[in-house]
Structure 1
């Protein structure tokens, strides 16, 4: 079996954020303002928008608010907790971090229906003079319509993972360079937000794919390339990223065994198990919608028959 191996890059540079000798991994918390400030701003605008949202045309349930803040919390946790620093020592921990960012965070945030609260939470002048013209511009609409085309979204979602993991030295470079590492995180999250847009209706906007059955096909269309990538990583007999061979290990096993574990994590809990869960939820929604439509059609037919019966004159004896 041919396993594509990323071309190695020079290994003279140290990891950018390794845990120092003598330090315990559970004390390795971060304080990255480039992540925390935007997350705090999104949390503040959402809360401010909800408090100023009067005369609502639709219900905004408490579970949506909980889902949104849970998504922000999970995102902050995976970037600021020791999981992030462990990812500099173990590929398996990096895979957990990236897959949570791509597979858990976007649906949690979108289920919070954040568009209206965040817009209402912005200063009125800034929203009207800056944000509104950008959102209404022809260029913005064309770009978003293109990016959310199902085929394009699948290519972006799957392609970003293949390029970063198997591209010539890209992943190893991200382990040693802060700027490249941030670009990697942003790109994974950005393409995931685009991909999940078509699965979840982020009210008041609607998915481009109306049928739940088609959404299941769309979801699996992106998961199959991810499974193939996971198989390459799992069955490789060489370490893909030399940086992991030069750092202190906190978990049992060799760098190659940790890489195989990373592939299995990507393949099973963040692959097959999550796939079945998402597909099951979509199928349940699809079934409920179909059943509801059938009931409405039957009720309409019954009402029509009753009106026709009432219109027929009764002959006298």
Structure 2
């Protein structure tokens, strides 16, 4: 008697991801008014599949890695929290609130461009995700054009320029006006800051020395400190503005009882203080990685900074 064919584990995961996404999408479409705040205001397959796939690949890689080479618990926790923050920013009612209050929008972008990508990069997930990828996907990711693109995007000058440029681009009043009213431009805005944040913080927070990492510790320290002043300048310019320069929120309708200037002031403080503090923390981490690497090299015990 022929035994029933065993379903491949990867196929089970894919089926589970699509089933969960389909149920969530159906509920949001059919019963939008009954959904709790932690459910999406508008369901996005792109966000759902990206976050779910990232978690699935990371979990798969962890299971495949030998116990002695798995990252410590705090790094694993950082990865899941980082992905979770990105998901919460775009797939809960926080996204709805961000479309109606400027300071909540800036908080959303703080999570998308800084905190979420920062924690993902701090987890140093590259080896784990690579282990979780199917062989075919690994081969495609080694394509020459993709490696050239990554080398260009993670050039230290271009990487720091893009990081600051996106912080300045989307709050330009005329651009911000249309981004908040055009769903396609709004999606591009959120995805651009998220992807750029992951690329930038992954470049800076790689614990390994060069040539294992793309840049040496000194260069990373310079670029992460170089982005501090532009963030302070932008935040201060919004805080001390004497008029409401973001009237689009009057059109969308503010959901909290505050004036446009009050909303704008809180948004400027978010641009100014926590964003700057995260850059300072990033600089301190780079110095700490350098110290740990020097101590490991001096000890000659082959210790890996990436596993600290």
TM interval, shorter chain, is 0.7 to 0.9
Post-superposition CA distance 1:136-171 (Å, at most 9, x none): 33322222111111111011111112121116x221
Q: Alignment length, in residue pairs? A: 265
Superposed CA RMSD in Å reads 2.9
Task: Indicate the residue corresponding to 1:256 in structure 2.
Answer: 261
Post-superposition CA distance 1:86-105 (Å, at most 9, x none): 11111000001101111111
The 5 A counterparts of 1:176-255 are: 176-201=181-206, 206-211=212-217, 213-255=218-260
Task: Indicate the residue corresponding to 1:79 in structure 2.
Answer: 90
Task: Indicate the residue corresponding to 1:100 in structure 2.
Answer: 111
Change (3 A) 1:95 1:290: same
Task: Indicate the residue corresponding to 1:277 in structure 2.
Answer: 281
Normalised by the size of structure 1, how large is the TM-score?
A: 0.74
Post-superposition CA distance 1:253-303 (Å, at most 9, x none): 2012211210111101222x333333333334444445565677xxxxxxx
Select which of 37, 50, 69 maps to 2:49.
37
Q: Which ranges in structure 2 are unaligned for 5 or more consecutive residues?
A: 1-32, 301-308
Does the CA-based 8 Å contact 2:205-2:285 persist in structure 1? no
Change (3 A) 1:53 1:28: closer
The secondary structure found in structure 2 opposite 1:238 is: coil
Does the CA-based 8 Å contact 1:90-1:244 persist in structure 2? yes
Select which of 113, 120, 132 maps to 1:121.
132
Change (3 A) 1:202 1:172: farther
Max Rg structure: 1
Task: Indicate the residue corresponding to 1:12 in structure 2.
Answer: none
The secondary structure found in structure 2 opposite 1:165 is: coil
Change (3 A) 1:96 1:25: farther
- Give the helix-richer structure, 1 or 2: 2
Does the CA-based 8 Å contact 1:53-1:120 persist in structure 2? yes
Change (3 A) 1:25 1:158: farther
Distance 2:279 2:295 in 1: 24
Q: Larger relative contact order (C-alpha < 8 A, sep ≥ 6)?
A: 1
